[in-house]
């Protein structure tokens, strides 16, 4: 596995180290020392993954993440304080795909980069042309587009899509936090134990009024409280073949 990595961090020694270390494994590493430079470079040159420090000299790393998410779904790994759980919660809520505390072992960073890229490069939709309908809403996994009952269109992040698909494939069933964490996070056994709650909060916001359909089962997990219609548009001889799940 290889790819283009954009590091947004003002530590020049870290940039040199990661260029050397990740370069041995086929990754090309570009470095930007400020948030503004990082956003500009991503727009100009692109990247397969961004490593973003939350402490930057010109602006808060979370503000940079917000700007990235407005224009791109590129996977982002945050570099945070080693024990700063608050930073991790905020980062996940804003759309980060993973995080790693400083100082870190470059071997762990490499493992996380590979895991995130594997998940992001994997085809997320179960099949091309499949569409999910529920409570007046429509989800088109192939484009990660969510169309709400009022016609408002919202684009989901990869982790939000994986989480919503878990609910839509198992409507009415209790899904534990551990099961959901496996769906939306590449390192479920390495993150804080309430990470899935942050992911669910983000998804509820994207769903708007339909967010109430994600019901909390206290101490157990979550349940999607509505029926779901699955339409396989790609089946021959039909504009759409519905399959109802309850």
165-216 residue pLDDT tens: 989 988 888 888 877 876 665 444 444 556 788 889 989 999 999 999 999 9
Residue 137: what are its φ and ψ, rounded to 5°? -100, 160
Q: How far apart are CA 222 and CA 106, in angstroms?
A: 35
pLDDT band at residue 68 using 50, 70 and 90 as cut-offs = confident
pLDDT at 79: 92
Q: How far apart are CA 207 and CA 213, in angstroms?
A: 9
Q: How far apart are CA 74 and CA 48, in angstroms?
A: 6
Q: Which residue has the higher pLDDT, 115 or 126?
A: 115
User: What pLDDT, in 10s, does the model give residues 132-164?
Assistant: 999 999 999 888 899 999 999 998 887 888 889
Give the sign of the dihedral formed by CA 125, CA 68, CA 167, CA 88: positive
Q: What is the mean pLDDT of the chain?
A: 83
Question: Could you give the domains of the chain?
Answer: 3-121 (3.40.50.2300), 130-245 (1.10.10.10)
pLDDT at 121: 61
Average pLDDT in the 12-23 region?
A: 95
User: What pLDDT, in 10s, does the model give residues 74-94?
Assistant: 889 999 876 667 777 788 878
Beta strand pairing status for 153-155 and 3-8? unpaired
pLDDT at 243: 46
Burial class (CB in 10 A: 0-12, 13-18, 19+), 76: buried
The helix (run of H) or strand (run of E) holding residue 92 is helix 85-94
């Amino acid at each position: 596995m290889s790819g283009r990595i954009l590091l947004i961090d003002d530590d020049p020694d870290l940039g040199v180290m990661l260029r050397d270390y990740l370069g041995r494994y086929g990754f090309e590493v570009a470095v930007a020392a400020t948030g503004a430079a990082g956003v500009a470079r991503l727009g100009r040159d692109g990247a397969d993954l961004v490593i973003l420090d939350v402490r930057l000299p010109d602006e808060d790393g979370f503000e940079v993440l917000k700007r990235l998410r407005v224009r791109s779904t590129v996977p982002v790994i945050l570099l945070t304080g080693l024990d700063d759980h608050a930073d991790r919660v905020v980062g996940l809520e804003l759309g980060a795909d993973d995080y790693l505390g400083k100082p870190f072992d470059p071997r762990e960073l490499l493992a996380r980069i590979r895991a995130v890229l594997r998940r992001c490069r994997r085809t997320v939709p179960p099949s091309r042309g499949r569409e999910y309908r529920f409570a007046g809403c429509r989800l088109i996994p192939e484009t990660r587009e969510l169309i709400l009952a009022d016609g408002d269109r919202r684009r989901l992040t990869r982790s939000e899509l994986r989480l919503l698909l878990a609910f839509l494939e198992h409507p009415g069933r209790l899904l534990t936090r551990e099961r959901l964490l496996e769906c939306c996070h590449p390192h479920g056994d390495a993150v804080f134990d309430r990470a899935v709650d942050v992911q669910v909060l983000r998804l509820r916001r994207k769903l708007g009024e339909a967010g109430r359909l994600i019901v909390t089962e206290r101490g157990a997990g979550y349940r999607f409280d509505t029926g779901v219609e699955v339409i396989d548009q790609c089946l021959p001889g039909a504009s759409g073949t519905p399959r109802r799940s309850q």
